[in-house]
């Protein structure tokens, strides 16, 4: 019984000593230099401006396929250059398209899980803005960035002539698929690209 009490006292004293050392170390950090880093759980929004550079690492070159900007349906600025270095899926859809509606459920289901590895970006066109936002609401696509492209600039850039079309761009910026994908094939391809 006595040795257990002694062990507890020794452990308590050791814990107090470690806590005091840790607290003393907190003030020392005030003199450290260098930019703060994002916590491991914090991730910048897809298409948002990249965080400030934290060191000498060279930036990822932006391929020609990702040199475009736009506005999302909710009015935010979108810069595709922030996607460089990752595979990307562009989904070209129209709000009145029945095929697009059937694919929307798969996109809404899988996109959040691949946001950091294989972002899926909607490119809404061939319709009015209200119809596009209603489509996003109806199919619960809120977490998926949706670029408004009523003028068709991105549709022309990627030579998309029909909806629903998926354009898959690999890590190096090469288009490796352009055309129709059913939900199962889209899920299989995105999962393969994430590994």
Sorting pLDDT into bands at 50, 70 and 90, what band is 35? very low
pLDDT tens per residue across span 136-194: 999 999 999 999 999 999 999 999 999 999 999 999 999 999 999 999 999 999 999 99
pLDDT of residue 59: 80
DSSP letter for each residue of the chain: -HHHHHHHHHHHHHHHHHHHHHHHHHHHGGG--SPPPPPTT--PPTTSPPPPP-SSPPPPPPPGGG--EEEBTTS-EEEGGGGTTS-EEEEEE-TT-HHHHHHHHHHHHHGGGGTTTS-EEEEE-SS-HHHHHHHHHHTT-TTS-EEE-TT-HHHHHTT--SSSEEEEE-TTS-EEEEE---HHHHHHHHHHHH-
pLDDT tens per residue across span 108-140: 999 999 999 999 999 999 999 999 999 999 999
């Amino acid at each position: 019984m006595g040795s257990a009490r002694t062990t507890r006292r020794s452990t308590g004293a050791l814990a107090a000593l470690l806590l005091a050392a840790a607290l003393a170390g907190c003030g020392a950090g005030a003199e450290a230099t260098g930019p703060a880093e994002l916590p491991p759980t914090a991730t910048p929004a897809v298409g948002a401006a990249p965080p400030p550079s934290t060191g000498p690492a060279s930036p990822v070159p932006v391929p020609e396929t990702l040199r475009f900007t736009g506005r999302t349906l909710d009015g935010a600025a979108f810069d595709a250059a922030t996607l460089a270095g990752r595979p990307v899926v562009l989904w070209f859809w129209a709000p009145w398209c029945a095929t697009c509606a059937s694919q929307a459920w798969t996109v809404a289901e899988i996109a959040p899980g691949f946001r950091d590895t294989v972002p899926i970006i909607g490119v809404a066109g061939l319709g009015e803005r209200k119809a596009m936002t209603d489509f996003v609401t109806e199919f619960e696509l809120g977490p998926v960035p949706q670029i408004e492209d009523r003028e068709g600039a991105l549709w022309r850039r990627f030579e998309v002539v029909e909806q629903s079309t998926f354009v898959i761009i690999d890590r190096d910026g090469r288009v490796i698929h352009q055309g129709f994908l059913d939900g199962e094939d889209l899920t299989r391809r995105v999962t393969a690209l994430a590994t």
